[in-house]
A and B are shown apart, each in its own frame.
Chain A
Amino acid sequence: MIAGARSSLLVSLVALPAALAAGEGCRPHEAATHRIRIEQFQFEPAVTTVRTGDTLVFVNADVVPHTATAGDSAWDSGAIAPGAEWSTVVPEEWARSYFCRFHPTMRGTLSLQ
């Protein structure tokens, strides 16, 4: 147990300079943009890893309208026309799943980092 803790501490100390050099832990998160393609009646990718403040862009590449709607109905794109896109910013409180209101079998997941 003690040996394990000592080993773990050692690894942390060894890694610390590299982490500091890379700015980890002190640099604010830069918001990322995630493009989610709607095609063939699927959200692609099916799982998107996001952080608060990131932007989600839903791009409808199908020939029919779709929606991106939160599983708890907290947000809803409304109809996204074929060829159109809709974007939103990830707030602090965010539903982990979403679906298409017109085609409820279409589902996507947001994995919060």
Chain B
Amino acid sequence: MRSHSNHAIAAALTLALLPALLAAQAPQLNDAEIAHVAVTANAIDVDMAGLAETRAASDQVSQFARTMITDHTAVNEQAAALATRLGVTPEANAVSASLRASADSARTRLSALRGPAFDTAYMAREVAYHQAVLDALDGLLIPGTANPELRKLLMGVRPAIAAHLEHARQITQALEAGK
């Protein structure tokens, strides 16, 4: 159990450092690259929630995972529609590659867990991930976007990420209280 907690803490720390790493490594992204980062970030959370749907022990974690799939899929559909309208093709870049690599590592780690241990680790990861995405939106993506419509989309996504973060924190506390 302790090793599971340590894994969760390590993952949380890695994600907490993500915005600083992103800012240091790639301070300049064009709009097509920012769009790719946004799409990748949403897709990652949908993937992780798909894993959670098959592994979660508690109903509230399962419901949270379903909400993540619904919401992040909807946001990506909106982003795809906007990209089409603007004639922008999202461009792969170092930031989205870094996000994907971190997610793959987290998925491998979470895949080894079952039941309550999975719930705890998944929710800890969701707290850290949404905090990291929120920080990246505020510090890198929104201020770095030139196109006003893309910036508006990102600003519109922010309340969703903040609500998910708060919800994830509440579930984490409930899981902790139920131990």
The residues of A with any CB-CB pair to B shorter than 8 Å are 40-42, 62-65, 82, 102-106
A63-B75, A63-B78, A104-B170 as given contacts; A41 in contact with B162, CB under 8 Å:
yes
- C-alpha spacing A23/B166, complex, angstroms: 49
CB distance from A62 to the nearest CB of B (A): 8
Contact with A along B75-104 (1 / 0, CB 8 A): 100100000000000000000000000000
Cβ–Cβ contact B170 & A64, under 8 A: no
Query: Does B135 sit within 8 A of A, measured CB to CB?
Result: no
Query: Does B67 sit within 8 A of A, measured CB to CB?
Result: yes
Residues from chain A with a CB closer than 8 A to the CB of B166 are: 105
Chain B contributes a number of interface residues (CB within 8 A of A) equal to 16
Cβ–Cβ contact A63 & B74, under 8 A: yes
CB distance from B177 to the nearest CB of A (A): 16
Q: A64 is contacted by which of B63, B74, B167 (Cβ under 8 Å)? A: B74
Cβ–Cβ contact B163 & A103, under 8 A: yes
CB distance from B10 to the nearest CB of A (A): 27
CB interface residues, B 132-163, toward A, < 8 Å: 156, 159-160, 162-163
Residues from chain B with a CB closer than 8 A to the CB of A42 are: 159
Cβ–Cβ contact B163 & A41, under 8 A: yes
17 cross-chain CB contacts under 8 A: A40-B159, A63-B75, A64-B160, A65-B70, A65-B74, A82-B74, A102-B63, A102-B67, A102-B70, A103-B67, A103-B163, A103-B167, A104-B167, A104-B170, A105-B166, A105-B167, A105-B170
Cβ–Cβ contact B70 & A41, under 8 A: no
Residues from chain B with a CB closer than 8 A to the CB of A82 are: 74
Residues from chain B with a CB closer than 8 A to the CB of A64 are: 70-71, 74-75, 160
Cβ–Cβ contact B167 & A41, under 8 A: no
Residues from chain B with a CB closer than 8 A to the CB of A102 are: 63, 67, 70-71
Contact with A along B55-83 (1 / 0, CB 8 A): 00000000100010011001100100000
User: Which chain A residue has the least Cβ–Cβ distance from B73?
Assistant: A64
New A-B pairs, 12, CB < 8 Å, besides A103-B67, A103-B167: A40-B156, A41-B159, A63-B75, A63-B156, A64-B74, A64-B75, A65-B70, A65-B74, A102-B67, A103-B163, A105-B163, A105-B167
- C-alpha spacing A102/B71, complex, angstroms: 10
- C-alpha spacing A102/B159, complex, angstroms: 14
CB distance from B41 to the nearest CB of A (A): 16
- C-alpha spacing A65/B75, complex, angstroms: 11
CB distance from B76 to the nearest CB of A (A): 10
- C-alpha spacing A94/B28, complex, angstroms: 53
User: Which chain B residue has the least Cβ–Cβ distance from A101?
Assistant: B63
- C-alpha spacing A65/B160, complex, angstroms: 11
